[in-house]
Amino acid sequence: MDKLICSVCIFDTRSFTDNLRYFSKIDDTDFIELIKILCQNGLQLASELDKGNNFYFNSTGDGFITIFFGNNSSIKCYLYSLILSKKNKDECIKFKEKKNREIKFGIGLEFGTVERVEINSSEYKIITYIGDVINITARIEAETKNHFSANIMMGENINKDIVKKLYNIDYDDIVKKVKISNNIKSVTKYLNMLNTINHKMLLTFLSEHILKGVEKQVALFRVSPTLSKRDSPYFHNFIKKCTEHLNIDSTNIYKIIREGETDLIGTAKAPWNVL
């Protein structure tokens, strides 16, 4: 089977079982309705970002998995997660205001390859995908529970791919220069370069982690809550960079981002500043 280049996004609702039991006991279906809305947002947004429907989407019960394919899948996947996080956070805030119960979620991202698998019976045909990147992404998402205010985390491969495509920078090369540099001046220079890239990417480096079921340590990054605020110039600049690279209408994307406005400060028009 051919290996397909892809980027994987896994969305998971935290404390799903506890919340399901709680609302089932009081015969309240609003929690199930919320889960439906969160999933619908994921599917609709994927369709908006990929008009050619070159993606895979499937519910996991307490969340869903979205896989984007192709050379620009990493950028599309990250843009997807940023917008999705805001839309679904808005829904969870409205739910808390109505039900006085907080619902949280985590999002994991990684880049790699998968294989397409068809499962057939006499009446049904199911298409699914298998690959290490799916397992790794699930482990990355699970790691969001261990970091305060980190509901989006990504692995090193998707970070490197996005940096290379958007900024034409070899992230690994700079990391190697930090490790082999033998004086403080050089180390400081390259560390500052990495920090600048991370800021442009709205990310904070979390060091290397040992993930369950993954043999080698994985460098992880979390999306900074401050840099990714709706009123942050870093956020607007990054959205602009992504939409221009993908040739997507930024006006439509910003309309989607603005729908809830739970942390938006400023005017209705996106301030596309250049840092």
pLDDT digits (tens, 9 = 90+) for 22-47: 999 999 999 999 999 999 999 999 99
Per-residue confidence at 261, pLDDT binned at 50, 70, 90?
low
C-alpha 41/C-alpha 22 separation (Å) is: 24
Tokens in use for 86?
Answer: 């805001």
Per-residue pLDDT reduced to its tens digit, 41-86: 999 999 999 988 899 999 988 999 999 999 999 999 999 999 999 9
Tokens in use for 243?
Answer: 């939409």
For range 1-18, the mean pLDDT: 93
Cβ-contact 75, 111 below 8 angstroms = no
Q: What angle do CA 150, 155, 161 make, to 5 degrees?
A: 125
| Strand, helix or coil for residue 125 | strand
**Which pLDDT value is given to residue 215?**
67
**Which pLDDT value is given to residue 150?**
77
Tokens in use for 136?
Answer: 């790794």
C-alpha pair distances (Å), 213 with each of 3, 169, 242: 21, 30, 32
Average pLDDT of the chain to the nearest whole number: 89
**Which pLDDT value is given to residue 211?**
66
How many other C-beta atoms can be found within 10 angstroms of the C-beta atom of residue 57? 17
Flag whether the pTM goes above 0.85: yes
C-alpha 189/C-alpha 178 separation (Å) is: 9
Per-residue pLDDT reduced to its tens digit, 121-164: 878 888 899 999 999 999 999 989 887 777 999 999 999 999 99
Residues with Cβ within 8 Å of 232's Cβ and at least 6 positions away in sequence, in order, are 226
Cβ-contact 109, 8 below 8 angstroms = yes
Per-residue confidence at 254, pLDDT binned at 50, 70, 90?
confident
**Which pLDDT value is given to residue 233?**
92
**Which pLDDT value is given to residue 209?**
67
* β-strands 152-155, 105-120 pairing: parallel
C-alpha 29/C-alpha 34 separation (Å) is: 9
